[in-house]
Amino acid sequence: MDKCELQITSKSIEETQFLGKRIGEHLSASTVIAMTGDLGSGKTCFVQGLARGLDVPDDCYVTSPTYTLINEYPGRLPLFHVDLYRLEHIDDIEDIGLYDIFNINSIIAIEWAERLHMSDLPEHLIVKIKISGDETRTISFSASGQLYYDLIQAIKNISKEMI
């Protein structure tokens, strides 16, 4: 299958969260989302939206797991929010249990995924968020594999709702 890519411009935090929410509503099987982007680019905002789309209860406030490394939230599917920013060595990934959660039917959103060897991940969706203005963000999606190709097609339709 050919690689599938898509780029969307978000004009606000609310649009980034909306995009995440609508994507979360489409997820029905184990999904790994590998996110990259500078500090403050909106990775956690995107995951906050994913959580709402996965029916994570409103009283579960989604925050960056910068110091805890992995936060788990209950929902239609469990959401594991992983932040590798403070991870000192690639060898520490096994110690935090990341590979173990790949075997759980869940959604795994990984911030700072560039710290991983992408070959160590199962098939995944890559989400790159770039700051393009005070409020605007360029969000790029790339995928390979049928599940992720189908997800990119759904994201294309979702992006039309943002215009």
Question: What is the rounded average pLDDT of the residues 61-84?
Answer: 88
Of 117, 116, 145, 142, residue with least CA distance to 129: 142
| Residue 121 clears pLDDT 80, i.e. is over it | no
Task: Delimit the domains of the chain by residue range.
Answer: 4-161
Of 146, 160, 153, 138, residue with least CA distance to 31: 146
Q: Which CATH superfamily is 4-161 part of? A: P-loop containing nucleotide triphosphate hydrolases (3.40.50.300)
Looking from the CA of 129 toward its CB, the CA atoms found within 13 Å total 31
Q: CA-CA distance, 68 to 96, in Å (whole number)? A: 10
Q: Could you read off the pLDDT of 14-47 as tens digits, one per residue? A: 999 999 999 999 998 789 999 999 998 999 999 9
Q: What percent of the chain has pLDDT over 90?
A: 50
